[in-house]
Amino acid sequence: MKTNLLTQLQETSDRLAELGLDALVLTQAIQRCHVVADGYTENHPPIGRGIGQWTEVVAAMRDQLIPRGWTRDDRENLGLTVNATKTIAISVATGDENTGNPDRIPSTRYSKGPKTQSAVIINALQLDLFGNVQLTPQQLKKYPGVMTFMLLFHRDPMAKETRVELSRPVRMNSDGDVIEWAERIILPPVPFGIEGAKISDDVPRKQQTLPEVKRKRA
């Protein structure tokens, strides 16, 4: 199967608009992830870092989309964000080093459970029914089932950037990794670190509060 690969700014913007999205929503969600990641040290358990970044991306995306009519769906802890017509859902996942690379096929970094598998099966059935076309929410209203996209992100410390794409999964392997995509909308990498991107004013920052020291009287 040939993947619909979107990399040019105009085509990615047009496709995101069809889905009721824009690149700024996704980029600011990743920027919020940077704020969280920068607060971790070697003393934090590795699993906490991954979960913390994942939850922050989900929350940041919802903060922006819920005022536009999207809703949250936390059944089975998948952390979906669903559009107003219940035709498009977005999950969030960390991807491998191929994430955001148009010349490589990415996979999820960690295996996924039954809920993700069900969403991928529905996507695959839609693919069999309609062929590999870029359906819009309006077109999907005529048919049962939700089309699920996955916001994949991969933090690369060497390059000091997070690569990100919004992609439509259609196949998983026996280990529970998503390995095939009908559509990949690749966004520009989001830099971080000293030379990284400036965080928008509306993105919360962690502030360090120093304890007040009171001098004892002799």
The verdict on residue 210 lying in a domain is no
Instruction: Report residue 32 as tokens.
Output: 């919020």
Give me the percent of the chain exceeding a pLDDT of 90.
59
- DSSP letter at 76 equals G
Using a cut of 0.85, tell me whether the model's pTM lies above it. no
Average pLDDT, the chain: 84
The verdict on residue 204 lying in a domain is no
pLDDT at residue 26, as a whole number? 96
The verdict on residue 198 lying in a domain is no
Number of domains in the chain: 1
The verdict on residue 208 lying in a domain is no
Q: How far apart are CA 34 and CA 30, in angstroms?
A: 6
* Domain, as residue range, for 130: 4-191
β-pair type (4-6, 88-94): unpaired
Q: How confident is the model at residue 211 (pLDDT cuts 50, 70, 90)?
A: very low
The verdict on residue 200 lying in a domain is no
Q: What is the mean pLDDT of residues 88-110?
A: 95
Contacts (Cβ under 8 Å, ≥6 apart) of 211: none
pLDDT at residue 48, as a whole number? 66
| Rg from Cα positions in the chain | 19
The verdict on residue 203 lying in a domain is no
Q: How far apart are CA 84 and CA 140, in angstroms?
A: 12
pLDDT at residue 40, as a whole number? 67
Q: Which of 43 and 157 is assigned the larger pLDDT? A: 157
The verdict on residue 217 lying in a domain is no
Residue with tokens 């459970």: 113
The verdict on residue 201 lying in a domain is no
